[in-house]
Amino acid sequence: MKKFAMAVATASMLAGAHAESCASAFSGFYAGVQAGLANTTGNLTVSDYYGNTEYDTATSTHKGSTGKKSFLGGLFVGYGMGVGSCAYVGGELYANFGKTSANLYDSSSASDYNKNYVIKMQRNFNFGAKVRLGYTVSQQAMVFLGLGLEYAKIQLKSENIAVVSQSKVSTTTTSKSKNKLSFAPSVGMDIFLNKNLFLRGEYTYVVGINQKINPQIKSFQKTNPATSTVKVNSTQQRFTLGLGYKF
């Protein structure tokens, strides 16, 4: 009985030491830098499109999806603490910078008597805040789920060209920028290299931002310009590697 009681006490002490080490290893303030690859996709719908004809009465609808990969770099800072034996909860602020510019649609190679559209999308940065919920698989490694809100600016631009006999008649440019918060969940892992320095790998999916513009294209036959409706849903997936320091 005495040996059994000693064994139970020893196991309890070891469990308590493990819980304390897990909590202390990941608890506290931290900051770091990150870099990676972003894949931005624009899902495009152009309705009431006056194209491939010299007659304004002929309309059509175009749909398409275009993806563009780009490099980005950023910063992160946050605070977290261990909860219970191996759980973790924390908050983090981050920013990423990198230019993504994609041609979503280009009909400029069409023939005579045509009204051409070149539609472009640009995304340069994002700022975000997220809650991190983690589980420490060891004293040096933790997997986590991020639940974030992300602020981004998307610019949509349409260059509309009326052409007759291979000569440019008129060009009209319509552009619109939109700032919006989007839901940005993520999954990742932190691995400590020593007591303070850690590596991070993270995958993030940014839920789509909807944007609409109504470009006009002047007709060489009629006084009133033709108006189309361009709708774009922009999503982003990115994978980043980070190097952080826990204070």
Please list the alpha-helical segments (H only) found in the chain: 2-26
Q: Which fold has domain 2-246?
A: Porin (2.40.160)
Question: Cα separation of 123 and 97, whole Å?
Answer: 9
pLDDT at residue 237 tops 90: yes
Degrees, nearest 5: CA angle 208-189-89: 85
Closest CA to 97 of 35, 190, 173, 4: 35
How many Å separate Cα 186 from the centre of its chain? 10
Higher pLDDT, residue 60 or 105 = 105
Q: How does pLDDT run across 2-51, given as a tens digit for each residue?
A: 554 444 444 444 444 444 556 677 889 999 999 999 999 888 888 766 55
Q: What token pair was written down for 157?
A: 């631009």
**What are the residues facing 131 on neighbouring strands?**
91, 147
pTM of model > 0.85: no
Burial of residue 43 (CB within 10 Å: 0-12, 13-18, 19+) is middle
Average pLDDT estimate for 55-79: 80
pLDDT in the model for residue 158: 81
Give the dihedral sign, CA 11/17/143/152: positive
Q: What is the Cα–Cα distance from 3 to 8, expressed in whole angstroms?
A: 9
- Mean pLDDT lowest for which of 50-59, 74-83, 203-212? 50-59
CA quadruple 116, 208, 156, 213: dihedral positive or negative? positive
Tens-place pLDDT, residues 59-70? 567 778 888 889
Give per-residue pLDDT as tens, 165-217. 555 566 777 777 878 889 999 999 999 999 899 999 999 999 988 888 877 76
Which has the higher per-residue pLDDT, 192 or 221? 192
Mean pLDDT across the stretch 81-87?
Answer: 86
Burial class (CB in 10 A: 0-12, 13-18, 19+), 230: buried
Cα 159 from Cα 145, distance rounded (Å): 41
Task: Give residue-wise pLDDT tens across range 115-130.
Answer: 667 888 888 889 999 9
Give the up-direction half-sphere exposure of residue 16: CA atoms within 13 A in the CB hemisphere. 6
